[in-house]
Amino acid sequence: MSCTSLESVKDSRVLYLTTVGRRTGLPREIEIWFVVCCERLYLFAETGEAANWVKNVRHNPKVSVRIEERRIDATARVLDRQSDRKLWDLVAEIANRKYGWGDGLPVEVTPVPSRAPTTTPSKLNSTISEGRYT
């Protein structure tokens, strides 16, 4: 699945995130709500840092995502409330509109470089600052 097609899945209700178990090294799959913003996926951990999948991402950021029949390899990172404040608020607002819930700890999922979006970090910051997003 290419990043340009993320827009085509933004209305799907759930995705399947596979992390690597931090203790076992085995794949761990969860079903979770998501939103698309600036050609990236954002997931929300209801229990914050206590969520096992968040602990797995902190240990190993390499993940895979399945949305409908599409699969992508990606890297994940937990947003920081201070340094990612604008982005945190933006994706929480998008999730609140989509699901009526935008609380929780946001985790950004970015496709691996071979399939990465053309959005550079400066373009992403400009998009967020100007309030333009998809």
Kindly report, residue by residue over 61-91, the tens digit of the pLDDT: 999 999 998 999 999 999 999 999 999 999 9
Mean pLDDT of 106-113: 91
Within 8 A by CB and 6+ apart from 72, the residues are 1, 64, 65, 111, 112, 115
Do 71 and 64 form a contact (C-beta atoms < 8 A)?
Answer: yes
Q: Is the pLDDT of residue 117 over 60?
A: no
Considering the entire predicted model, what is its pTM? Answer: 0.82
Stretch 30-57: mean pLDDT, rounded?
A: 97
* Range 43-63 average pLDDT: 98
Confidence band of 116 (pLDDT split at 50, 70, 90): very low
| CATH among 1.10.3720.10, 2.30.110.10, 3.40.50.170, 3.30.379.10 for 3-129 | 2.30.110.10
Return the domain boundaries, the chain.
Answer: 3-129
